[in-house]
Amino acid sequence: MDTWILWVVGCSVAFWIGKSVGTHLATYRMIKALADNPEPFIAISKQLKQIDEAKTHEELDNINVGNNDIPKDAILIEVEEINGYIYAYNKVTGEFLSQAHDIEQAARIARQRFPGKTFWHPSLEQNHQNTCI
């Protein structure tokens, strides 16, 4: 019985040491990535500041992520696939937009639900970005 207790205590100590070392390594990698190439982190910080300063959902919808190919008034789509269905969400606000079997169909349904809005996702073909949605 004493051997079993020592084994459990030993495993617990090993787990916490491993977790601590892993956390420190992950932190080190993040700081190194930040030091080597700070531009993506700066862009994310600027976008988060813009989101914090936005007062309405319409302002949130108009935030440009920094890609010049994206229309200024476009709603960025974030997709999630569950059981063969694509669920489309507003990338900035997290608002549900639509669900369908593929991204193009989800974008068309979102366009029907929100007339006058433009939706954008990198996987959509250019003709689906602005006209078909």
Query: What is the predicted pLDDT for the residue at 61?
Result: 57
How much is the pLDDT for 77?
84
User: Does the pTM of the predicted model rise above 0.85?
Assistant: no
Q: What is the mean pLDDT of residues 115-122?
A: 82
Q: Can you give the pLDDT at residue 40? A: 84
Angle made by CA atoms 106, 108, 114, in degrees to the nearest 5 = 100
Predicted local distance difference test score (pLDDT) of residue 26? 93
User: What are the sequence ranges of the domains in the chain?
Assistant: 2-36, 56-130
Predicted confidence at residue 23, as pLDDT, reads: 93
pLDDT at 18 over 50: yes
On the question of pLDDT at 128 being above 80, the answer is no
The H-or-E segment that residue 129 falls in is helix 126-130
Alpha helices, DSSP H, located in the chain: 2-36, 39-53, 57-61, 103-113, 126-130
Residue range 46-99, pLDDT digits in tens: 888 877 776 666 565 555 555 556 666 778 888 888 888 889 888 888 888 888
Report the alpha-carbon distance of residue 63 to residue 44 in Å, rounded. 12
Residue indicated by tokens 């507003």:
90
